[in-house]
Structure 1
Amino acid sequence: MTYKFNCEEEPMPTGHVMMAMSLDGFVARKDHSLDWLNKQPASGEDHGFNVFMDSIDVLVMGTGSLKTVLGFGEWPYSKPVVVLSQSMTTEDLPDHLRTRIEFSTETPQELWKTLDQRGFNRVYVDGGAVVQSFIKAGYVQDMKITIVPILLGDGIRIFGQNGGDIDLDLISATPFPSGMVDLDYSVKNE
């Protein structure tokens, strides 16, 4: 299988991933819980999330990620959010979020064209299954993965079956006193 990344004949938005991952490759527990992240002594460490959020135009996530974020209490995003879902609608949201979140049943390819038509250039792709589908579609340009020093043993993987190799270039590796390591990769173009 050949992947096309940022092809010149298809000027489209660029996809960017920023996620924390356990050392054994999980982004959440099977129930989408992120409680394991709260165990990390990372106070005062700047992993660049605010700068990253300032650089993006829109977030795309799945229903699992949405349900997890809704459990945080306060909505953490000021940017538009598109949730890929076959089952949820705005009626499932609290009233104060119904104008801040939209749902889509489009494929990654269809959504990418829609985002391009709406003028969204930098897309934050979030959530295990969504990240996997957008990588497979060839829409992820770069990834910042924070490796968290914990072994979960089971959960939701950030990467699944690809159907072929996806080559990456390591841009930087930054260790932190907490034991976390930020790995910045660009996805190689075919």
Structure 2
Amino acid sequence: MTFTATVFIGTSLDGFIARPDNDIEWLTSRGEKAGDLGFFEFFGSVDAVVMGRNTYDKVVGFGEEAWHFGDRHVGVLSTTMPADADPRVTVYRDMDSLIADLDTRGIKHVYPDGGRLIQSFLAAGLVSTFIISVAPVLIGSGHRLFGELAKDVALRLESAKAVGGGFAQLRYTVEK
């Protein structure tokens, strides 16, 4: 494996990335007050985006103007999405084929997006950095960023700062 993966994501203070019905309005409405939180600078360093099927469906649902991936490679990890569903993406059926293809393409920096996909990347030891923007809200239930882990994942805090709109941004490096 020749690439690194950086997670850049927003959560509620209680650790959720979406409500049980996948709604993220609680995040997007507050995010408008916070600005881009450094996302565009981060995104400029990425040469591939990989997302899960639910995240892909959410992005496509935002409309064509939300498809801001440019010439970056975009992959979707899904066992149910037809391989030819969208000519802008490569559909992967499993992590092994995804990793092999990213390596073959010479990808250096990957942005994994979507809760279950991030959990899969973490379980496979592929995440090197977390940039987590914590929204000033408790939503009580929903989809957690982190699921159950087979073992502890040691992290080193690189920074913690207030970034606007009441958000706090935490940056951690995964200790290998």
**TM-score normalised per structure 2:** 0.91
Query: Within 2, Cα distance between the matches of 1:177 and 1:91?
Result: 41
Partner of 1:66: 56
Alpha-carbon displacement from aligned partner over 1:31-73 (angstroms, at most 9, x marks no partner): 2221112331643634111111110110111011011111111
Q: 1:85 aligns with which of 78, 81, 84?
A: 78
Counting strand residues as a fraction of each chain, which structure ranks higher? 2
1:128 paired to 2:121 = no
Residue type of the alignment partner of 1:184: R
Aligned positions of 1:7-26 closer than 5 A: 11-26=1-16
Aligned positions of 1:1-190 closer than 5 A: 11-40=1-30, 42-43=32-33, 45-74=35-64, 75-78=67-70, 79-92=72-85, 98-107=86-95, 109-189=96-176
Query: Within 1, Cα distance between the matches of 2:94 and 2:19?
Result: 26
Identity %: 38
Query: Within 1, Cα distance between the matches of 2:153 and 2:59?
Result: 29
Q: Counterpart of 1:40 in 2: which secondary structure? A: helix
Query: Within 1, Cα distance between the matches of 2:21 and 2:78?
Result: 17
Q: CA RMSD in A?
A: 1.6
Alpha-carbon displacement from aligned partner over 1:113-153 (angstroms, at most 9, x marks no partner): 22011111101011100000110100000010000011111
Residue type of the alignment partner of 1:185: Y
Residue type of the alignment partner of 1:101: V
Bigger radius of gyration among the two: 1
Segments of 4+ moved more than 3 angstroms: 41-46
Query: Within 1, Cα distance between the matches of 2:69 and 2:23?
Result: 19
Query: Within 2, Cα distance between the matches of 1:130 and 1:45?
Result: 25
**TM-score normalised per structure 1:** 0.85
Q: How many equivalent residue pairs?
A: 173
Partner of 1:6: none
